[in-house]
Amino acid sequence: MKKSKRHSLGQHFLKNPRLIHKIINIIDPHEDELIVEIGAGKGSLTLPLAERCGLVLAIEKDPSLVDLLKNIIPANVKLIAADILKLNLSHIIARPQKEYSQIKLVGNLPYSIASQIILKAFEHKADFPFWVFLLQEEMAQRFLASPGSKKFNPLGIMLQIYFEIRPELKINPRSFQPPPRVYSILLSFTQRSTPLFPLPEEKNFHSFLKKCFATRRKTLSNNLLAASFSPEAVTEAFSILKIPPKARAEELSLKTFFALYNFFYLKNKSENPENILLVKDRKNE
């Protein structure tokens, strides 16, 4: 039997009124705020958000749900029929944001594309200082993971550097229609006034983290060697930063990752932007 597009995306609609009320209170919408909702679905969050905020930009891809929403949304909801992954978020808020004191990004995210949506939100963090997302429990735990956990990962590290992430609610599958097979977690993301570490070349740091975590069964040193870092430089970095030779990436603290990254920097960008050379950081001398 062929799965529907909705089922294949992993869409599960909220149906518990008391739970919806709790979520709205956590989002805490105000009349002077603009809310961007990802995946408006059947309007479970859209309608109560509209009762308390200035404007809701409701994004929905499914044509049948778009038709349903057109018949029930109030005047202060602007429906955007589009794929969130193809949408320019900065563009859709360019005009309305001038009229509101704050913009919040919220949504009951489809399980299958939630990580891609989170990454897109992160890329637009300058526009959205506060997020509230409903996620599959396993994914939520990856963003909350601490050093030493096997769930510790590059995107989670990037998020923790820029945001305070808080688990707000754990939600039973019975609160959804259709019910998923797993629990869900409501996370709030509040942007820090300043990041934990200064990252002028943010994408380079994220790329470096991916190299560190490239193969989880390997040690950190082996992952770095596989990424073409020289044995001499890796050995020197581990010695200076007191990283155990057999350490794995998930065992390092955020501070140690930042120090390890600062031990290396890009050189000869004009010749080969992909060539990362290991050079001793002058700050460590």
Q: Are 251 and 221 in contact (CB under 8 A)?
A: no
Tell me how far apart the alpha carbons of residues 48 and 106 are, in angstroms, rounded to a whole number.
13
What does the pLDDT read at residue 104? 98
Q: What confidence tens digit (pLDDT) does each residue in 83-121 have? A: 999 999 999 999 999 999 999 999 999 989 999 999 999
Check whether 275 has a pLDDT greater than 70: no
pTM of the model: 0.88
pLDDT (tens digit, 9 = 90+) per residue, 161-210? 999 999 999 999 999 999 999 999 999 999 999 999 999 899 999 999 99
pLDDT at residue 279 greater than cutoff 70:
no
Q: Supply the pLDDT for residue 276.
A: 36
From the candidate CATH numbers 3.40.50.150, 3.20.20.70, 3.40.30.10, 2.102.10.10, the one assigned to the domain spanning 5-191: 3.40.50.150
Q: Which CATH number fits domain 202-284: 1.20.120.140, 3.40.50.1000, 1.10.8.100, 3.30.300.30?
A: 1.10.8.100
Q: For 11, what's the count of Cα atoms within 13 Å in the CB-facing half-sphere?
A: 19
Domains of the chain, by residue range, sit at 5-191, 202-284
pLDDT number for residue 10: 62
Number of C-beta neighbours around residue 270 at 10 A: 5
Predicted local confidence at residue 11, as pLDDT: 81
Distances (CA, A) of 44 to 16, 67, 149: 9, 15, 35
pLDDT of residue 59: 98
- pLDDT digits over 12-36, tens only? 999 999 999 999 999 999 999 999 9
